Amino acid sequence: MVKPEESKHVCNVDQFNIEKGETISTLMKSFAGTGFNAKRLGMACEIYEAMVKDRKCVKIMTLAGAMVPAGMRAVISDFVRSGFVDILVTTGANLTHDLIESIGCHHQQGSDQVSDAELHEHEINRIYDVFMPNNAYESMEDFIRTLKFDKTIPVVEFLDFLGGELERLPAEAVRDSILRTCHEKKVPIYCPAFTDCGLGIQLAMNNRGLKLDLFEDLNRMIGKAWDSEDVGVFIIGGGVPKNYTFQALQFSPNSASYAIQVTTDRPEPGGLSGATLSEAVSWGKVNEKARTITVICDATIAVPLILAYLKDTCTA
Q: Among residue numbers 52 through 71, which ones bind its own copies (CB under 8 A)?
A: 64-66, 68-71
| From 19, 55, 168, 186, residue interacting with its own copies (rule: CB under 8 A) | 19
Residue 230 or 311: which CB sits closer to its own copies?
Answer: 311
Q: How many whole angstroms separate alpha carbon 49 and alpha carbon 177?
A: 24
**How many CB atoms are closer than 10 A to CB 295?**
25
Going by C-alpha positions, the residue among 294, 43, 58, 77 that lies closest to residue 166 is 77
Q: What is the pattern of x (binds its own copies, CB under 8 A) and - over residues 211-240?
A: xxxxx-xxx--x--------------x-xx
Smallest distance, its own copies to C-beta of residue 270, A: 4
Name which position in 29, 73, 183, 224 contacts its own copies (CB under 8 A).
Answer: 73
Determine, following the binding rule CB under 8 A, whether residue 199 of this chain makes contact with its own copies: no
In a 3-state reduction of DSSP, which class is residue 57? coil
Find the binder of its own copies among 125, 153, 169, 185 (CB under 8 A): 125
Residue of 205, 200, 232, 215 whose CA lies nearest to 49: 232
Pairing of strands 211-212, 152-153: parallel
CB nearer to its own copies: pick between 58 and 221: 221
Sheet order of strands, 189-190 included: 189-190, 87-90, 58-63, 231-236, 256-263, 286-296
CB nearer to its own copies: pick between 58 and 74: 74
124 sits in which H/E element: strand 124-127
Q: Which of residues 257-316 bind its own copies (CB under 8 A)?
A: 264-273, 275, 278-284, 288, 296-302, 304-305, 307-308, 311-312, 315
- Shortest Å distance, C-beta 9 to its own copies: 10
Look up residue 175 and give its amino acid: R
Phi, psi of 139, deg, nearest 5: -60, -40
Q: With binding defined as CB under 8 A, does residue 198 bind its own copies?
A: yes
CA dist 41 and 102 (Å) reads 31
For the bound state, the minimum distance from the C-beta of residue 32 to its own copies, rounded and expressed in Å, comes to 9
Query: Which of 230, 300 has the CB closer to its own copies?
Result: 300
Per CB under 8 A, does 204 bind its own copies?
yes
- In the range 94-123, which residues lie near its own copies by CB under 8 A? 101, 106-122
Nearest-approach distance from CB 290 to its own copies, in angstroms: 11
Residue 173: CB atoms within 10 A of its CB come to 16
Q: Residues 203, 256, 260, 293: which binds its own copies (CB under 8 A)?
A: 203
Distance (Å, whole) CA 293 – CA 260: 5
Closest CA to 186 of 218, 169, 154, 163: 163
53/266 with CB nearer its own copies: 266
Check 29, 39, 59, 285 and give the catalytic one. 285
Q: How far is the CB of 202 from its own copies (least distance, A)?
A: 9
**Of the residues 50, 127, 147, 153, which one makes contact with its own copies according to CB under 8 A:** 127
Q: Does 253 bind its own copies (CB under 8 A)?
A: no
Question: d(Cα 181, Cα 164) in Å, to the nearest integer?
Answer: 9
285 is catalytic: yes
Strand ranges (E), 213-285: 231-236, 256-263
Q: Tally the C-alpha atoms within 13 A of residue 243's C-alpha that lie toward its C-beta.
A: 10
Residues 79-98 touching its own copies, rule: CB under 8 A, are 93
66 touches 126 (CB < 8 A):
no
| Contacts (CB under 8 A) with its own copies, residues 149-168 | none
The residues that are catalytic are: 285
